[in-house]
Chains A and B, each alone.
Chain A
Amino acid sequence: MSIQQDSYFEPEITAFMCIYCAYMAADTAGALRIPYPPNVKLVKLPCTGKTDPRYFLKAFEDGADGVYVVACPIGNCHHVRGNERAYARVQWTKKLLDDVGLGGERLDMFFMSGGQGATFAEVAKEMTERIRALGPNPVKIVNS
């Protein structure tokens, strides 16, 4: 954990987003000039129902300090229940991350509609601060 203690830690965060509400919320944040941390890298998916625990683990293996999923509000998924399926997968993976030793709090899921640009920015800030407090991904420290 010397990286965390010796220098200011800038987390690398991967966000899986559906192309409907979530990506539109990101677009709205941009259109309204609402700033959000550049630590978040967005991955566009046709629906969050496309997410898979393998995607999350791969992101952590590749050095992400945190991962989150952004989906349409429950009941408003364009593919009816894709976001509910994604939520179940996120919950399952959080438990696996606890078992692995990385900590389930490094993974989370948020729901928002296309007009909620401010919420999108708020979530990006929240996750950045949370991961900064947790420190770097231990896997990255071992490999560095």
Chain B
Amino acid sequence: MIVGEQKPLEEIKELIGDVKEVLVAGCGTCVTVCFAGGEREAQLLASALRLTSQVDGDPKEVTDVAVQRQCEWEYIDPLAEQIAKSEVVVSLACGIRGAYGGGRQRHPQGRQEGKK
């Protein structure tokens, strides 16, 4: 099993930068059982990002979602529409999700719009 660890909020804020629409995507397997990136953590991070962006005077639209597995296409395919609507996807899953490139390979729409 892969063990995940949460990044500090400050680091996540720096990674997100100035974008306005953010999608926080949790994963229901390894990172859920080590309390690093499941549905609960995704909701918490989204809430914390909304609050901190408003405190900083730069309100962001942060939504959250969680799927059963981010390491299988079948489970992340349904996220295509939400990914296309957001400027940045913060995946709380393990490195496999990163290797999948945020779902871009399978979703030309996302690739054409230059999603990160």
Interface residues of A (CB under 8 A from B): 52-54, 57-58, 60-61, 96, 99-102, 138-139, 142-143
- Scoring B10, B44, B51, B56 by chain A CB atoms within 10 A of each residue's CB, the highest score goes to B51
Say whether A102 contacts B47, CB under 8 Å: no
B52 contact from A52, A53, A58, A101, Cβ within 8 A = A101
**Which residues in chain B, 36-92, are within 8 Å of chain A measured between CB atoms?**
40, 43-44, 47-48, 50-52, 54-57, 59
Beyond known contacts A57-B51, A60-B51, A102-B55: 11 more, CB 8 A cutoff: A54-B43, A54-B44, A57-B44, A57-B47, A58-B47, A61-B47, A99-B8, A100-B9, A138-B55, A142-B54, A143-B54
Query: Helix, strand, loop or mixed for chain B's interface?
Result: helix
Residue of chain B at shortest CB distance from A92: B44
Q: How far is the CA of A99 from the CA of B50 in the complex (A)?
A: 13
Residue of chain A at shortest CB distance from B58: A142
Nearest Cβ on chain A to B109's Cβ, whole angstroms:
31
Interface residues of B (CB under 8 A from A): 8-10, 40, 43-44, 47-48, 50-52, 54-57, 59
**What are 30 contact pairs spanning A and B, CB under 8 A?**
A52-B40, A53-B44, A54-B47, A57-B44, A57-B48, A57-B51, A58-B47, A60-B51, A61-B47, A61-B50, A61-B51, A96-B9, A96-B44, A96-B48, A99-B8, A99-B9, A99-B10, A100-B9, A100-B48, A100-B51, A100-B52, A101-B51, A101-B56, A102-B51, A138-B55, A139-B51, A142-B54, A142-B55, A142-B57, A142-B59
A contact residues around B50 at 8 Å (CB): 61
